[in-house]
Structure 1
Amino acid sequence: MRADHACPGHLGGATGPLRSMTDGPFQQASHFWLPLVIVGGLVVLTTWLGQLAEQPLPQAPTVLRHDPDYFVENFNATAYDVSGQPRYHLTAVRLTHYMDDDTADLIAPRFVREGAGVARVVVRSLRGVVSANGDTVDFIGDVRMLRERLQDGPPIDLTTDYLRAYPDRDLVVTNKPVLIKDGGGQLRGAAMQADGKQKTLELSGRVKGIYETRH
């Protein structure tokens, strides 16, 4: 006799379609949540792009060019001491101011230092530059400085190509060759410093002097 029956645990006689775990509830849940995840990601991405577009674009730092912002014809300025007396004058045919560094160019500047107890000094040149804070005035090209006669000394006539003046310090310096004439002779040097307060004049470099005698 033959018994047609299936033993427990034996799949050989089983009929019908086989199913794996991927065909169960887990697969159905993934089919349900996946579209929602994609849509949610798109919403977040769209929101982030919108916020990014609303932010102002970074601006490049502004670089000021060395362009003039104003000029003055027949410039004339006077500085006074604490007692109200004129201390020095600065004039020029033309002053041109630059906004980027707050300096000013001068055409044909003329500087006059005067006051009680000091010799009158006049400096002029072809052009000049005033610093941003006004502490220095550079005289450039065919510079001539004339110090009038003192009671105890002759006048001094100085020529050079460049001279820097510190008006408030009563000081003038140059790192260019200089020629100084003081009546009876002349001196040449590679650089110079003249201090009006200390009443000193220093020459440096290869200093040469000529003294003229009169008979």
Structure 2
Amino acid sequence: MTADRIRVWLGVALLGLVMLGSFWIYEVMRRQSEDEAANAKNRSEPDYYVENFNFVRLSQSKQTNYRVTGEKLIHYPREDEFEIVQPRIVGIDQEKTPMTIRAERAIVKQKVQEKSQSKPEDQIHMQGNVLVERSKSDQGDHLTMATNSLILFPDSERMRTSEQITMTTARANITANGMEADNSTQKIRLLNKVQISIAPPSSK
């Protein structure tokens, strides 16, 4: 074998080693990135949080907007869920009637499909000393409702709970176990053990 052929084969061998080395480095980096992504998805501790946040969103009907605030917004990558500390949600409908919902904490679940035929939508699970307050309007009197937990469906403007609720208006006090409400149609359905106390009209 001549010296020229030796130099050519050495060049080819070196080129092959460089290519193999580059491929090995690529594989190591790719596997490391996949491992980091898997670990981030599987770990239960939060990956980021925001303090004193404030954001606005529209319902799917574009008729109601919601302003959501809280002391802290925490994201958990394993479940891809958000926890809100001291949440406060203010909804303004097309009649410009505000409704405020407060709680000790909330869990935001994204695009949950409850039934096989239903459309996925976001859920906000309000927990601990939940208080709903709706201002007086042409649709009805001032109303407050207290319960221990409440699930909100902001896309379809619905809410529900299986817990005991206490609802108070200007003239009535209502208690029940379980409630379903549709803000877009202004309808409330009380489920079980409903008790209503109505004050007599005041004489003028």
Partner of 2:192: 205
State yes or no: 1:167 paired with 2:145.
no
In the alignment, the residues of structure 2 paired with residue 193 and residue 118 of structure 1 have an alpha-carbon distance, to the nearest angstrom, of: 22
For the residue of structure 1 that corresponds to 2:163, the secondary structure is coil
- Residue identity over aligned pairs, in percent, reads 24
Higher strand share: 2
Contact 2:60/2:155 (<8 A) preserved = no
Contact 1:174/1:191 (<8 A) preserved = yes
In the alignment, the residues of structure 1 paired with residue 61 and residue 187 of structure 2 have an alpha-carbon distance, to the nearest angstrom, of: 26
Q: How many residues align?
A: 156
- Shift of residue 86, structure 1, vs aligned partner: 7.1
- Let me know the Cα RMSD of the aligned residues: 2.4
Q: In structure 2, what residue type is equivalent to 1:101?
A: E
Partner of 1:52: none
Ranked by relative contact order (alpha carbons within 8 Å, sequence separation 6 or more), the top structure is: 2
Contact 2:83/2:107 (<8 A) preserved = yes
For the residue of structure 2 that corresponds to 1:176, the secondary structure is strand
TM-score scaled by length of structure 1: 0.67
Structure 1: tracts of 5 or more residues without a match: 1-59
Partner of 2:23: none
- Shift of residue 211, structure 1, vs aligned partner: 0.7
TM-score scaled by length of structure 2: 0.70
Partner residue of 1:76 out of 37, 54, 72: 54
Structure 2: tracts of 5 or more residues without a match: 1-34, 112-120
State yes or no: 1:101 paired with 2:70.
no
Q: 1:105 to 1:211 in 2, by over 3 A?
A: same
Larger Rg: 1
- Shift of residue 197, structure 1, vs aligned partner: 1.2
Deviations 1:37-77, CA, capped at 9 Å, x for gaps: xxxxxxxxxxxxxxxxxxxxxxx996813110000000111
State yes or no: 1:136 paired with 2:123.
yes
Partner of 1:188: 175
Contact 1:179/1:189 (<8 A) preserved = yes
Q: 1:85 to 1:152 in 2, by over 3 A?
A: closer
Moved more, 184-193 or 117-126: 117-126
For the residue of structure 2 that corresponds to 1:158, the secondary structure is strand
Q: In structure 2, what residue type is equivalent to 1:142?
A: N
